[in-house]
Amino acid sequence: MANYLQTRLDLLRRSQNRDGGWGYFPGKQSWLEPSVYAALALHGEHAAERAWQLLLSWQNSGDGSWRPSQEVATSTWGTALCVTLAAVRQESGRALQDGASWLLDAEGAESSLTYRLSNRRSGRLAGTRPASGPSPKGWSWTKNSFSAAEPTAHAMIALKKAARLAGAVMHPGILAERLRLGEMRLMAGKNPASAGFVLLGLQGRSDLEAWLEPARRQLTGDQTPALTRAWIRLALRLRGEQLPAAHASGSNDLMLAALEALAEADGNHGLLRATGSGTTV
């Protein structure tokens, strides 16, 4: 009998659209998010090659960002996912370079006042960070909106991976500052539901017990949404933790299927490691 990983991969294989992408559910139009995750889950297969060709056609020639679908010509956070996929594929050309450049310039709409108010609400000492200093701007879903943990984590992964391939076109000082502010943004968060993304974005840090505890608690909680559980499994898997068997959802949600496949012990979770060339580890 096929194991859970194979059942998830088989669902993705038979649900790929004719254009090479995936919708959120079988038979629906292709979107960037499920297409990237499915391509990562099926990395090395012809299906993933077809997906990449479709995604390449969705890159905006004007600024290097990616649109979320063929019909929606908007620059969005999904650019980070495509930059990560390009790095995984060892695509060091213009697609990756232009996408990474867009990510370096993109930022949330936070202000230093927002950060100071957040500090007071969370009980931190006011004044521990100079009011004139840079605010902890992460990355947002779209331009001119506040940053969030998920796009911030993915942008940080993408830029770190891109720097290994296209470091010559990425100013190291600018990159380091953006990553530093992104870390500050993630560490300042208070939503336990974001634990998986915080752990993903802060890979390699050892001072994350405040996030590990709620993550492990949600992983075993009966009320945890399947998508949240999949992200936590991915984050903990990248930390090398031994995990209990996955809750077999049986859902035909294709993005969930791809994430569950990635998070399996024999899945391609190593492709989302923030460092390295993209080889599964």
Query: Does some domain include residue 278?
Result: no
Res 208 pLDDT > 60: yes
pLDDT class for 255, splitting at 50, 70, 90?
Answer: very high
Query: Does some domain include residue 131?
Result: yes
Query: Does some domain include residue 8?
Result: yes
Query: Does some domain include residue 280?
Result: no
| Residue 82 confidence (pLDDT) | 98
- Residue numbers of the domain that contains 175: 4-272
Residue 39, Cα to own-chain centre: how many angstroms? 14
pTM of the model: 0.89
DSSP annotation string for the chain: ---HHHHHHHHHHHH--TTS-B-SSTTSPPBHHHHHHHHHHTTTSHHHHHHHHHHHHTB-TTTS-B-SSSS----BTHHHHHHHHHHHTT--SHHHHHHHHHHHH------HHHHHHHHHHTTPPTTSS-TTSPP----BSBTTS-B-HHHHHHHHHHHHHHHHHHGGGS-HHHHHHHHHHHHHHHHH---GGGHHHHHHHTTT-S--HHHHHHHHHHHH-TTS-HHHHHHHHHHHHHTT---PPP-------HHHHHHHHHHSTTSSGGGG-SSSSS---
- Residues above pLDDT 70, as percent of the chain: 87
| Residue 168 confidence (pLDDT) | 57
Residue 201, Cα to own-chain centre: how many angstroms? 8
Res 135 pLDDT > 70: no
- The tally of domains found in the chain comes to 1
Give me the CATH number covering residue 255: 1.50.10.20
Contact 187, 119 (CB under 8 A): no
The Cα–Cα gap between 57 and 128 comes to 47
pLDDT class for 7, splitting at 50, 70, 90?
Answer: very high
110 vs 267, higher pLDDT: 267
Query: Does some domain include residue 206?
Result: yes
| Residue 133 confidence (pLDDT) | 53
**pLDDT 10s digits, 21-50:** 999 999 999 999 999 999 999 999 999 999
**pLDDT 10s digits, 99-127:** 999 999 998 887 443 444 344 433 332 33
168-172, Cβ contacts within 8 angstroms, sequence gap of 24 or more = 169/97, 169/100, 169/101, 170/100, 170/101, 170/104
- Residues above pLDDT 90, as percent of the chain: 76
Query: Does some domain include residue 279?
Result: no
Res 279 pLDDT > 80: no
* CA distances for 115 relative to 188, 210, 239, angstroms: 8, 20, 29
Query: Does some domain include residue 281?
Result: no
pLDDT class for 134, splitting at 50, 70, 90?
Answer: low
266 vs 132, higher pLDDT: 266
Give the residue-averaged pLDDT of 167-184: 88
**pLDDT 10s digits, 40-86:** 999 999 999 999 999 999 999 999 999 999 999 899 999 999 999 99
Query: Does some domain include residue 16?
Result: yes
